[in-house]
Amino acid sequence: MRYFEVTNVRELFLSLLIGLGLKDEFTVLNLSGFPIARTERFKIINIKNTSIIDKLSYQFYAKKKINVEPDDYFYAFHDMTPCLNFRCNRIFVEHGYINYLMNDEIIKLSSFKARLFYRLKLNSLASGRSNKFNKVLFTLEDCWPKDLNDKAEFLDIVSNWNLLSEADRNITRQIFNINIGEHVFSDDAILLITQPIEIYDTISVEMKMEMYKEILSQYDSSVIYIKAHPKEKCDYSGLSDFILPNNIPIELLIVDSKCYPKTVITLFSTAVFILFGKSEIKWLGNYNNKLSGLNVDFNPPVLVKGKI
């Protein structure tokens, strides 16, 4: 049995991509709150994950509730997972920008408390580095940190999608409630992939919207598409007539459209990785210096720069 622990729609899509492709029995531990229609193809366990009590309950009681055997495989997208307490084969799936950094680079981006934990060796096994993880999957080939060479493996999203049967692709489409090619980009499309930076940094929603408005002002508004992050609640309708659903992962929209945008703009979202070599990528890195005085630097990791 394979288990996939998912907390958002991107994790859900990658889990379906892997699970359906391997043809084994698998179970989705759904902590995302995203409703999944019943299917005979795999099992679903819906787990509440909204309150602190929910989160603590899952961490401390998951081992009793989920019958994981030593020969089973458990896929996780973050380090705070109870699977580290299970006897099984554990696989870590890339979870964004931080996975492409060396350990000392991760420390520099961390809070004072996190840095202290790193120094005390209490939290120095981030992003799949724990010896409890047997493998780490990356969605960008040959760009993983050197200290993960021994267990890194490339997860080719486009190839894996094309290898799925049409029945399994339809199962995925039904779960996300889309039809084949429903969201097709025009030939000269400009795609902005946004991020919920107001959640993590001292920046207001108004500042963020002004920043994106300024970025898009240099482009033809008739070809601008916006894909908001699932955690965002912002209304981008004033910036574009083409707002893609934020509860559908951009990776699914890309693999199912068979048409790529001409230019993709992001601050530092690794969702653009699927479009490397297919679209012009504008990775802006720094953001909001002028509007808020912040100096946030998320330029492409050294390992990734050569791919852009």
Averaged pLDDT for residues 164-168: 95
Cα–Cα distance between 193 and 264 in angstroms, integer?
A: 7
Boundary (domain end) residue, out of 151, 176, 201: 176
89 vs 76: CA distance, rounded Å: 11
Q: Rounded to an integer, what distance in angstroms lies between the CA atom of residue 87 and that of residue 69? A: 7
Residues in Cβ contact with 210 at an 8 Å cutoff, skipping those fewer than 6 apart: 291
Tens of pLDDT, residue by residue over 193-215, are 998 888 766 678 888 888 899 99
pLDDT, tens only, 265-275: 998 899 999 99
Model pLDDT for residues 202-257, shown as the tens digit of each residue: 678 888 888 899 999 999 888 999 999 888 888 998 899 899 988 899 999 999 88
Residue 76, H or E segment: strand 73-76
pLDDT at 114: 47
- Same domain for 61 and 161? yes
First to last CA, the chain: 38
Provide the pLDDT confidence category of residue 122 given band limits of 50, 70 and 90: very low
Structural domains in the chain (count)? 2
pLDDT reported for residue 125: 58
Is 90 exceeded by the pLDDT of residue 138?
Answer: yes
Over residues 143-162, the mean pLDDT reads 92
Look at 50-64, 206-220, 275-289, 291-305 and tell me which has the smallest mean pLDDT.
291-305
Q: What is the mean pLDDT of residues 155-182?
A: 91
Q: Rounded to 5 degrees, what are φ and ψ at 295?
A: -130, 75
CATH code, 101? 3.40.50
Range in 33-37, 216-220, 289-293 with the lowest mean pLDDT: 289-293
Q: What pLDDT is stored for residue 9 in this prediction?
A: 93
**Confidence grade of residue 121 (pLDDT, cut at 50, 70, 90):** very low
Between 115 and 76, residue with greater pLDDT: 76
Assigned token pair, 308 = 């852009």
Q: What is the pLDDT of residue 59?
A: 83
- pTM value is 0.88
For residue 83, give its domain range. 2-176
pLDDT band, very low/low/confident/very high, at 300 (cuts 50, 70, 90): confident
Are 116 and 197 in the same domain? Answer: no
Quick check: is 301 in a domain?
yes
Q: How many whole angstroms separate alpha carbon 77 and alpha carbon 57?
A: 19
- Of 126, 144, 176, at which residue does a domain stop? 176
Q: What is the mean pLDDT of the chain?
A: 85
The answer for residues whose C-beta is within 8 angstroms of residue 237's C-beta and 6 or more apart is 243
Q: Is the pLDDT of residue 111 over 70?
A: no
Inter-residue contact 207 to 222 (CB < 8 Å): no
Residue bearing the bigger pLDDT, 38 or 294: 38
Residue 118 within any structural domain of the chain: yes
Residue 181 lies in a domain: no
pLDDT at residue 3 above 90?
yes
Position 202 scores a pLDDT of 64
Asked if pLDDT for residue 192 goes beyond 90, the answer is yes
Q: Is 138 found in the same domain as 16? A: yes
Same domain, 40 and 171: yes
Domain boundary among 127, 146, 176: 176
